[in-house]
Structure 1
Amino acid sequence: MPPRVCRCQEECPVGTFGAGCAQACRCGDHSQCCPASGACVCEAGFSGEACDVPLCPEGLYGLRCDRKCPCHAPNTRSCHPMSGECTCRPGWSGLYCNETCPPGFFGEACKEVCRCQNGADCHSVSGACLCAPGFQGPSCSAPCPAGTYGTNCSSSCGCQNRARCSPVDGSCSCTPGLDLDLDLDPNPVPDPWSRPDVRTRGRDPFQTLGLVSRLPL
């Protein structure tokens, strides 16, 4: 079948044809729409009513369809039958579709911008936020609830005595006065007017058993 030729004197805006350019073209990406008739004029290497049928079998390109496409097949949408140029699936980039989207981008041709916060990256295909440890929510804008930490806030804190738990790594920040460990001398001086010999090693000194009440006023 000889190639269709469009002979037109006036051009409509891209994607339209006919009287007053009121009709929508139905041509594929590898074609031009004749503004007079709406017929699709295929670029080299394609055929079909909508110019969406490559002349070469999948994975091959060239005038004789004898050259192997250089694209990484699992990540490739199509290989141009004449040039061998790779068109990547969403989430992939590079000349051969073997590179993921750069940080901060996702989607078709990696042109969509991620909408994540607090240092989070997003899924290269869907754009879903992958929160950094310590944050949660659709955009990773919310810190972990009290008592939890880590990736997806899935770990439970183990801090005691009202200590603060880091939402990132679960480390404990002790409340002032509660970070000492108390140890009473096992042989206290019997003098009632003297304070007991107290060695502090990690508990609140004011929690000594009866210590405050026994001290002289």
Structure 2
Amino acid sequence: VPVALKAALVNNPPGGLEGAFIAEISRSKPAPQGVCVANSMGKVLAWVLSFNDDAQVPKFLDYALKRHKQFPDANQPVPTKRFKQFSGRPLADAPDTRTKLPRLAPHGKNEYCVATPPKTRGTLVTRVWGRRVEKNGKLCESCISQENYIEDIFDIPNEMQREVAQLAEAGKRFRLPKQFVRHLATYTYL
């Protein structure tokens, strides 16, 4: 099952059972951000920071699938294969700590989940997709590598919404507040 973890979670794992899984994934990372494949026991099979070219992306996924067949659980040590660039620039393997994590179970109705933290009523959840703009002003055609594409979800707090709404009520053109622009740019920067 593919799962995307925000770099902020991987670099600062929360507490609890999910946090233990995220910490185990984080332990073997070669850099603060990259692509990782883990098995259902939270054992990282492979990390990659970049790819030689776009054709290497599906080859990496095939490689990860082979590793998953070799290490489907935590019954034996699972060394993490790491790559600065797949497939030509491997890094040193990260050894398994042999930490056994309990199986994850679905959340109960009123249980907190780090993937869906509680939000203040009225919070605007924003989803952003974007592509790099080329020097000629056109959008980059290749969206396979993370250098060319961004996808993120973030919240716009109520206070910021109110501030923009008050400016808009005047019915005239207005400059967006610096704090609001900075908040948007933080997530959409590529």
Bin the TM-score by the shorter chain.
under 0.3
Q: TM-score, normalized by length of structure 2? A: 0.22
Tell which structure's C-alpha radius of gyration is larger: 1
Higher relative strand content = 1
Higher relative helix content = 2
Q: TM-score, normalized by length of structure 1? A: 0.20
